[in-house]
Structure 1
């Protein structure tokens, strides 16, 4: 592996480490020695941390850039993924209706409609609510939930006059933003925290040897007030994550980063809603798992994908696929190398 590749991976690790305050100076020192962000280390269970049974970010970044290269070239952003899903499995495609190109609103309905960006306000007035996010960014960055009210627009709960909001939004480099209808999640996931779309992060691997798919892990993400309008977990900085037993679909306790104690913490029920987490069972998990395995097998190239899956009353919706999925949301609950099938895939990833 080239020196430049190693340097790029280490640079990415340093950016992740210094983007947030560490749990303590001691954890930062450990992070610099191991090549894994301090908060990620602090979120590991004690057994995994002491045994070193976790994937370090520096190694992971090198491997994912090399092994997922072909896959990332064709499914690098949410717009690419939407178009691919509309063809290969339209029943699970997200309700993305438009995208923004410069100052134009482009329809994805196939009618060739191109309108001025001011049409976004008319679309919002018609729909009542919209979700807007950059197609090429993850972790909920710059995501906007827009709600039309008699007094103006609620943009992530901040009330602003419609012309004022559009003027401010237009000042940004808005190429590639995608515009979606609101996904109506089912009662089970909504109960955890109704203000956000609470999704399953399903980690699939497609073998490089024979294109055989595997569900490597699954974790239920639940929003909190600090994460609105998304359920973003990001090493526990906001939301709650509960590991899903891949065989049974039953949830473990919720895991989050306690900002007061600056360490990992577990809860049996959601702190805001009181909804039971520990022992809850994902509805129709066997069906969800089967669909995700089928979808992973249909990828144009083998590799690793972290899918955000919404559970609705009508079935599942794939909100997006992450081509560089974070592993901490899964491995903070325990090792990702517990089964022979898991170990075989990671061996192909050279991890």
Structure 2
């Protein structure tokens, strides 16, 4: 009972972090134990048939079943170290992290650099990407660009010294610093200003460590999401479901603030690039990479991988150990196939989720 109450309380806090589509939808969310923003993004029949996993139930199951993999892989510094060993070709290009008011160079960890060194790094590389090692949902993400006017942070010109002082006042321990990932031409065309990533949801079975791809969804940025492609339950960018058999995209899905409902798009609303029926290049290679990575996890569990598609291969941007399901369930149920249902059954999530 106590676990149920903690999970429901956590859900309520999450529900009130953002405005609800309406008072009625907020009430529906509170009664169903699921975010109102996620409910309104469902197709009407999916909402009526309850073809989603209530967040309050999902939170409880993650706490019980995903705790070991969460402790191992939650921090992005741990992710970098693990990937550098098991599959270095797909590891993110992280170069430094923040320790107090200093930088630690991953190539020379015995040296501590003054934080102001980051300005020379930006001048040298042209661009850098910063984000909290233990954060999520693109909170705190910063894109630093060397420009003729000086320094740009998330597209805004700033005075370098003032930005440095303000950043350090936040005590940004363990912020990671990476070179910019150069995505391939296929994903770049959707919206060039952001890194448009593939979210792959893998499950490693608790019974036999067998791996399965439960869903894949392509994310695409918009001007309001810069410098990331953050979807944020339809309040940010565009998402498109990927057919796991052939890598073909469905239509784009986003939230229409005027109609307060889901909006389906054949093309990206900013670039005009066709979304429906676009095909991810080398999809079989992408699938095999993700299944292999999931099989190499030291513990079973559920991971939502953010994957950059380059012209030659893939790069793991990050691994989410508490992955949201709404980005996938907004398009289709996650219990359509026997393989999906078998994995959720191991987590105690049944075909017809029970209300909290």
What number of residue pairs does the alignment pair up? Answer: 349
TM superposition shift of 1:23: 1.0
Partner of 2:215: 217
| Distance of 2:232 and 2:109 partners within structure 1 | 38
1:202-246 Cα deviation digits (max 9, x unpaired): 000000010000000000000001100000001110100000001
Structure 2 distance, partners of 1:66, 1:107, is 36
Equivalent position of 2:160 in the other structure: 162
Cα deviation 1:302-348 (Å, max 9, x = unaligned): 00000000001121000000000000000110110011010000000
- The equivalent residue for 1:313 is 311
Partner residue of 1:61 out of 51, 59, 62: 59
Which of 136, 139, 149 aligns to 1:138? It is 136
Cα distance in 2 between the residues matched to 1:43 and 1:342: 21
Q: Is the 8 A contact 1:232 1:238 kept in 2?
A: yes
Within the candidate set 87, 90, 107, 1:89 is matched to: 87
Shift of 1:199: 0.1
Q: 1:167 is paired with a residue of what secondary structure?
A: helix
**Secondary structure of 2:137's aligned partner:** coil
1:111 and 1:168, CA in 2 relative to 1: closer, same or farther beyond 3 A?
closer
Q: CA RMSD in A?
A: 0.9
CA distance in 2, matches of 1:194, 1:340: 38
Q: Is the 8 A contact 1:255 1:265 kept in 2?
A: yes
**Distance in 2 between residues matched to 1:98 and 1:286, nearest whole Å:** 33
- Runs of 4+ more than 3 Å apart: none
Q: Equivalent residue of 2:334, what SS?
A: coil
Determine the structure 2 residue equivalent to 1:127: 125
Matches of 1:310 and 1:110 in 2, distance apart?
27
Against the structure 1 CA distance between its residues 110 and 211, is the aligned structure 2 distance closer, same or farther, given a 3 Å change threshold?
farther
SS at structure 1 position matched to 2:263: strand
Taking the aligned partners of 1:295 and 1:78, their CA distance within structure 2 comes to: 16
Q: Choose the corresponding residue for 2:266, options 258, 268, 271.
A: 268
2-side partners of 1:303 and 1:132: how far apart?
28
Note the C-alpha offset of 1:110: 4.3
Q: Which residue of 1 aligns with 2:41?
A: 43
Is the Cα–Cα contact under 8 Å of residues 151 and 161 in structure 1 kept in the other structure? no
Question: In the aligned structure 1, how far is the partner of 2:2 from the partner of 2:184?
Answer: 46
Pick the aligned partner of 2:333 from 326, 332, 335.
Answer: 335
1:304 aligned onto 2:302: yes
**How big is each residue's C-alpha offset from its partner over 1:272-322, in whole Å with a ceiling of 9 and x where there is no partner?**
000100000011111100100000000010000000000011210000000
Q: Distance in 2 between matches of 1:8 and 1:85?
A: 33
Distance apart, 1:265 and its partner CA: 0.8
Q: 1:5: how far off?
A: 2.1
Preserved CA contact (<8 Å) 1:131 1:146: yes
What does residue 71 of structure 1 align with?
69
1:95-135: CA deviation from partner (whole Å, max 9, x where unpaired): 00000010110011145221111111111111110000001
- TM-score after normalising by structure 2: 0.97
Tell me the distance in 1 between the aligned counterparts of 2:118 and 2:94.
13
Supply the distance in 1 between the matched residues of 2:18 and 2:170 (Cα, whole angstroms).
25
Give the TM-score, by structure 1 length. Answer: 0.98
Counterpart mapping for 1:192-271 below 5 A:
192-271=190-269
SS at match of 1:241: strand
